[in-house]
């Protein structure tokens, strides 16, 4: 056995099968990467992450314990969250709860499952294609996302999209005849 080695049974291991889950759209509007750990109260994550924080109250990322997800600046992604279990108390983080979570807000009262994360489809048309913003909220709660251990439920299987040069970046980029200041 090696330190930190996982010895797993054959076949998939279902995690959080009986827990309520939510799917939220998220945009990192900051200029730095943000990393969120597996047991961090997602509603209290970095304020530069734009998503429905009411829908995320009482939820954490649906990923294996001890792992994290990194959101690069400008990333528009869908994340899977799972409800806290046990005593459902949250202490610390950004000191916004510090006690019992109370009842979970029903998913139909939130932007979960295809929420727009504050995206204006006309102004930010380039981000709209990264979202399922036309999907309506589901009328029933989802139970058990059935995360397979060792697989990040945030879809990173697709190759990264090429960087688009936005208008503000174009005006700051020196032309071929211009010298860059040192």
* Nearest by Cα to 133 from 110, 111, 154, 155: 111
62-71, 100-109, 149-158: which has the minimum mean pLDDT? 149-158
Q: What is the dihedral of CA 141, 25, 159, 61, to 10 degrees?
A: -60
Determine the pLDDT at residue 36: 94
- State which H helix or E strand residue 54 sits in: helix 53-56
Whether 173 has a pLDDT exceeding 80, the answer reads no
**CB contact at 8 A, 42 and 134:** no
Determine the pLDDT at residue 131: 47
- The structure tokens 């397979």 sit at 148
Whether 17 has a pLDDT exceeding 50, the answer reads yes
Highest mean pLDDT among 66-80, 98-112, 128-142: 66-80
Whether 122 has a pLDDT exceeding 70, the answer reads no
Give me the domains of the chain, ranges plus CATH numbers. 14-172 (2.10.150.10)
When pLDDT is averaged across residues 131-147 and rounded to a whole number, the result is 39
Within the chain, strands assigned E span 14-15, 20-28, 34-37, 49-50, 59-61, 68-71, 76-83, 89-90, 99-100, 142-143, 147-148
Greater confidence, 140 or 154? 154
Determine the pLDDT at residue 40: 92
Determine the pLDDT at residue 172: 58
Q: What is the dihedral of CA 20, 21, 22, 23, to 10 degrees?
A: -160
Q: pLDDT by residue (tens digit) across 26-72?
A: 889 999 999 999 889 998 899 999 888 888 888 899 888 888 999 99
User: Would you call 51 helix, strand, or coil by DSSP?
Assistant: coil
**CB contact at 8 A, 90 and 84:** yes
Determine the pLDDT at residue 139: 36
């Amino acid at each position: 056995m090696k330190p930190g080695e996982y010895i797993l049974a054959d076949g998939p291991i279902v995690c959080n099968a009986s827990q309520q889950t939510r799917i939220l759209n998220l945009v990192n509007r900051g200029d730095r990467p943000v990393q969120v750990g597996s047991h961090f109260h997602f509603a209290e994550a970095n304020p530069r992450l734009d998503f429905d924080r009411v829908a995320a109250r009482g939820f954490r990322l649906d990923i294996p314990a001890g792992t994290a997800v990194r959101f690069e600046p400008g990333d528009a992604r869908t994340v899977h969250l799972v409800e806290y279990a046990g005593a459902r108390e949250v202490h610390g983080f950004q000191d916004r709860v510090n006690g019992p979570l109370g009842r979970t807000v029903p998913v139909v009262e939130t932007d979960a499952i295809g929420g727009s994360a504050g995206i204006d489809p006309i102004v930010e048309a380039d981000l709209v294609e990264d979202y399922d913003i036309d999907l309506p909220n589901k009328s029933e709660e989802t139970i058990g996302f059935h995360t397979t251990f060792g697989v990040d439920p945030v879809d990173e299987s697709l190759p990264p999209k090429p960087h688009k040069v936005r208008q503000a970046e174009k005006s700051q980029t020196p032309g071929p005849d211009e010298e860059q200041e040192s």
